[in-house]
Amino acid sequence: MNVLVTGGAGFIGSNLVRALLDRGDAVRVLDNFATGSRTNLAEIHPVSADRLSVIEGDIRDQETCRDACRGVEVVYHQAALGSVPRSIEDPSTTDAVNIHGTVNIFSAAREAGVRRVVYASSSSVYGDEPSLPKVEGRIGRPLSPYALTKLTNERYADLFSSLYGMTLVGLRYFNIFGPRQSPDGPYAAVIPRFIQALLSKEAATINGDGEQSRDFTYVANAVQANLKAASAELPAGHHVFNVACGERFTLNELHRILSGMVESPVLPVHGPARPGDVRHSQADITAIQERLGYLPETDMEEGLRRTLDWFRMGSRPA
Ligand SMILES: NC(=O)c1ccc[n+]([C@@H]2O[C@H](COP(=O)([O-])OP(=O)(O)OC[C@H]3O[C@@H](n4cnc5c(N)ncnc54)[C@H](O)[C@@H]3O)[C@@H](O)[C@H]2O)c1
């Protein structure tokens, strides 16, 4: 199958690209390397490397998106600027990439007659909706520009399905972690930050009191969700699913679990709470289990062990 992975040089994208190559697909990557890297696509087995092509380009450019979608059966749209704090610092760029870029990809997919678009949404769309666990049909108001861009993507997907008869599947990722997630920079996610601090014997900083909780999800589960979203029998239209484990852990618990996996761990320190963060997050995964046959095969602890091993090996491509 010919497929396109936008953001394929990023964390989730590069894990997905490997899985697609492993099962024999021909994979085109579109990425501008804003936050992804060529290293993430390095050391792919020569047998499958022949089936990988990379377009260095920006989803904000419509022609580039058209070129990327030509001849493709499925689009896995992962490219975006992630991070709530980044979006609060610079809402314009997050808006341009995440909204305008996504509309370009949806339009290009329509023009190319793509069979299905699977795209990355986010648990952040639940915003200030307080109930737990989060059920797909019940969302609140977004708490950050990032969340608003992801919600807008979903609205556009609704429109594209009703106006043009397309089939689109939005995956609301809940705190995905694993190999190739960057620990660097001010916008790094919590698990690679904690791991890097623990391995270099430094105190990790926990934002706020650490009692905020998340449904941490190993990346292999997100990859599985993408593959199933592309192949499952679904009626034409727009479908949205939570991608998670269905459990939640506080940041304090997360740090304690990781500390138990390393020699002489350093105690964390607490910094100020971050604006725009939701307090608690936990998914109901009934819909994706029933409709797509998804199973979170790797639980959080096993995922943390694998991620730690990868960082210990010097973050080589796994
Ligand atoms: N990691 C998570 O926990 C999580 C949670 C919810 C949603 N998501 C979403 O999943 C997707 C993948 O996230 P990730 O964690 O792998 O992040 P990432 O930053 O590692 O990957 C994003 C990729 O998109 C590329 N990109 C950014 N702007 C681009 C542009 N203008 N044109 C082309 N490529 C561009 C980057 O270079 C990078 O390779 C994103 O849409 C993100 O919003 C991630």
Which domains are seen in the chain, by residue range?
A: 2-177+216-245+284-296 (3.40.50.720)
Cα separation, 229 vs 169, whole angstroms = 7
For the chain, list the strands marked E by DSSP: 2-6, 26-31, 52-56, 74-77, 116-122, 168-173, 176-177, 205-207, 213-214, 217-218, 238-243, 249-250, 269-271
Could you tell me the pLDDT band of residue 44, with boundaries at 50, 70 and 90?
confident
Residue range 11-33: mean pLDDT, rounded? 97
**Token pair for 293:** 């046959």
Helix, strand or coil for residue 134? strand
Interior angle at CA 308, CA 150 and CA 269, nearest 5? 75
- Expressed in angstroms, the distance from the first to the final Cα of the chain is 24
Q: Which two tokens stand for residue 216?
A: 């941490």
Task: Find, among 54, 57, 67, 60, the residue nearest to 26 by Cα.
Answer: 54
Looking from the CA of residue 96, the nearest atom of ligand 1 is 31
CB burial of 231-244 (b: ≥16 within 10 Å; e: otherwise) equals: ebebeeebbbbbbb
Place of tokens 């599985």: 224
Q: Does position 198 have pLDDT exceeding 60, yes or no?
A: yes
Mean pLDDT of the chain: 96
Which residue among the candidates 76, 126, 146, 218 is catalytic per the annotation? 146
Residues 31 and 8 sit within 8 Å (Cβ to Cβ): yes
Please check whether residue 78 is in contact with residue 7, taking contact to mean a CB–CB distance below 8 angstroms.
Answer: yes
Q: Are 105 and 6 in contact (CB under 8 A)?
A: yes
pLDDT at 318 over 60: no
Q: Measured from the CA of 181, which atom of ligand 1 is nearest?
A: 20
The protein residue with its alpha carbon nearest to ligand 1, atom 1, reads 176
Q: Distance between CA atoms of 246 and 118, rounded to whole angstroms? A: 21
267 backbone φψ class: left, alpha, beta (φ>0; ψ -120 to 50): beta
Q: Residue 277 — pLDDT band, cuts 50, 70, 90?
A: confident
Distance CA(110)–CA(156), nearest Å, equals 13
**Cα 39 to ligand 1 centroid, rounded to whole Å:** 15
Q: Compute the distance between CA of residue 10 and CA of residue 59 in angstroms, rounded to an integer.
A: 14
Q: Whose alpha carbon is nearest atom 43 of ligand 1?
A: 82
Atom number of ligand 1 nearest to Cα 35: 37
| Ligand 1 atom 42, closest CA | 82
pLDDT of residue 315: 64
Residue 119: active-site member: no
Q: How far is the CA of 28 from the centre of ligand 1 (A)?
A: 16
In the predicted structure, residue 316 carries a pLDDT above the cut 60: no
What is the reported pLDDT for 240? 98
Instruction: Give the model's confidence band at 310: pLDDT under 50 very low, under 70 low, under 90 confident, else very high.
Output: very high
Cα–ligand 1 centroid distance for 233 (angstroms): 27
The enclosing H or E element of 304 equals helix 300-312
Q: Rounded to the nearest whole angstrom, what is the distance from the C-alpha of residue 11 to the centroid of ligand 1?
A: 7
Nearest CA to ligand 1 atom 13: 12
Taking CA atoms only, the protein residue closest to ligand 1 atom 7 is 122
- Within 6 A (CB) of ligand 1 lie 7, 9-13, 30-36, 58-60, 78-82, 97, 101, 120, 122, 173, 175-176
169 alpha carbon – ligand 1 mean position (Å): 17
* Rounded-to-integer distance, Cα 206 and Cα 194, Å: 9
Query: Rounded mean pLDDT of 288-315?
Result: 95
Q: Which atom of ligand 1 is nearest to the CA of 101?
A: 31
Q: What CA–CA distance (Å, rounded) separates 222 from 16?
A: 8
Mean per-residue pLDDT, 46-59:
94
CA distance 288 to 224: 11
pLDDT digits (tens, 9 = 90+) for 171-183: 999 999 999 999 9
* Number of other residues whose CB lies within 10 A of the CB of residue 45: 10
Span 242-263, pLDDT tens digits: 999 999 999 999 999 999 999 9
Percent of the chain with pLDDT over 90: 94
User: What is the Cα–Cα distance from 248 to 11, expressed in whole angstroms?
Assistant: 22
